[in-house]
Amino acid sequence: MKHLFLLLFIVMSDAIAEEPVILVLGDSLSAAYGIERSQGWVALLEHRLAEQGYPHKVVNASISGDTTAGGLSRLPRALAQFSPDILIIELGANDGLRGLTNRQTREHLAQMITLAQAVPSRPLLLGMMLPPNFGKAFTEKFLLIYQELAEEREVPLVPFFLEGVADRTEWMQGDGLHPRAEGQPRMLEHVWKELAPMLERQNGTKLTRQ
């Protein structure tokens, strides 16, 4: 009987250890700022994964107000703790809002990609734009950070995470920066478009299409 319990324990431990992890490293846009956490796109992602038969566990390591510098400082510990198969990087907007240079933002994002790929973990980059009051030239250069990094490092990219959300005032909170619950499903769709092919390429993934 002892041997049976030991065998069951080993099997269960292996199953837990093999559970693939998706780590979300973001700011308030992923931390469900101003809405119920269960309404945020990360929580909606968890539900979709379960509904479609994926075994992945989602770990949300997002902090409201975080910058790429903050995310970079937290990432090594998170990678060591969770060993994620996929790392979703949703950072940079606060860099622009606080006046950090594009060079700093780009360097921090590049270092995060390097750290992830060394685990190895597959990065997914979520592109961000700044409000139009920052000026067309600056906002376009900011957006190019993500496009250029994705091409150079050959990582999947969501071109603009808030596409079709930021320009709908009824979907945005009073500050004009954070989406309401109504905009979260659209945000998930943007992520899912790039994430789904990554999941399908992963060996052993259980997939049940609806």
What's the whole-model pTM score? 0.87
Write down the H helix ranges in 63-135: 68-82, 93-97, 102-118
Exactly one of 56, 108, 178, 190 is catalytic; name it: 178
Counting as low any pLDDT under 70, the low residues of the chain are 1-17, 202-210
Q: Which of 27, 28, 66, 121 is catalytic?
A: 28
What are 149-186's pLDDT values in tens digits? Answer: 999 999 999 999 999 999 999 999 999 999 999 999 99
**Nearest partner of 161 among 149, 143, 173, 174, judged by Cα:** 143
Domain 19-200 has CATH 3.40.50.1110: yes
Q: Is 28 a catalytic residue?
A: yes
Q: Give the other-Cβ count within 10 Å of 5's Cβ.
A: 9
